[in-house]
Amino acid sequence: MSWIEALVLGLLQGLTEYLPVSSSGHLAIGSALFGIEGEENLTFTIVVHVATVLSTLVILWKEISWIFKGLFQCRMNDETRYVGNILVSMIPIGIVGVFFKDTVEAIFGSGLFIVGCMLLVTAALLVYSYYAKPRVKERIGWKDAFVIGLAQACAVLPGLSRSGSTIATGLILGNKKETLAQFSFLMVIPPILGEALLDGLKIVKDASAAGAEIPIVSLCVGFLAAFLSGCIACKWMISLVRRGKLVYFGIYCAIAGAVTMLCSVLS
């Protein structure tokens, strides 16, 4: 992998991790165009995912520090309830990670047609959430947190946007726009770090991993590109959710999904 390829894929990951267009789907498309496969792709994916997690920590540091200050009070308060909701939202993705990891990996290797199909599903969710008019709730409850967690679990499929699925689900449930983007970005930090740790151990265990051949320069370039673009996209996405502009990303996903499916069939 050259540093230019790493730059492009890093920017792609950082931008699409937060925008509701599926980072996994776009990364799969980009990797296919550059001919990057197997363990090499896995290693790079781990690096850029960690970079985007760090960008979340930087942009949402005020909210994260608020949560930790509340936890250290050692009593039930808004902060502990918030953490409880995040833990509840992690249950579905934890079940998928433990019992269906091999199945998910097989789907990722099944080609771009499935990516195109899931982009269309993402488009449908975003458009429906735009036109749905549920009664607005004051705060995210544990039941809604679990349902949003189910959406996150489904979004392990390549092409089904995690941020798009979780935010759209929250909007359909009637949760406030002001809190959804923040909750969506914070709830994904533990699963991404956990998955990165497990995949990293897998690469270390396999001494013949092709990912070890990726130049350090390319990894650094990809990391920095994903981190910086992730910071920009995270702030932008929070603003977009508050203004209710996600329907335009639904149109983009519909076009991208249809083109991806067509190219997959014709290739």
Task: Give me the chain's average pLDDT, please.
Answer: 80
CA dihedral for 183, 184, 187, 192, sign (positive or negative): negative
pLDDT digits (tens, 9 = 90+) for 115-132: 888 899 999 999 998 888
CA 200 vs CA 24, 65, 210, 216, 227: distances in Å:
18, 28, 13, 16, 19
**Quick one: which of 94, 70, 51 has its CA closest to 223?**
51
pLDDT at 38 over 60: no
Rounded to whole angstroms, how far apart are CA atoms 87 and 82?
A: 9
User: Quick one: DSSP state of residue 161?
Assistant: -
The amino acid occupying position 130 is Y
Helix residue ranges, H only, 132-246: 142-154, 162-173, 177-187, 189-205, 216-243
Name which residue leads in pLDDT, 211 or 69.
Answer: 69
Main-chain dihedrals φ then ψ at residue 109, nearest 5 degrees: -95, 10
Rounded to whole angstroms, how far apart are CA atoms 65 and 71?
A: 10
Rounded to whole angstroms, how far apart are CA atoms 211 and 131?
A: 44
Token digits of residue 188 = 């994904």
**Quick one: which of 60, 23, 82, 67 has its CA closest to 235?**
60
pLDDT digits (tens, 9 = 90+) for 85-117: 888 988 998 888 777 766 766 665 567 788 888
Q: Please give the model's pTM, rounded to 2 decimal places.
A: 0.78
If pLDDT is split at 50, 70 and 90, which confidence band does 210 have?
very low
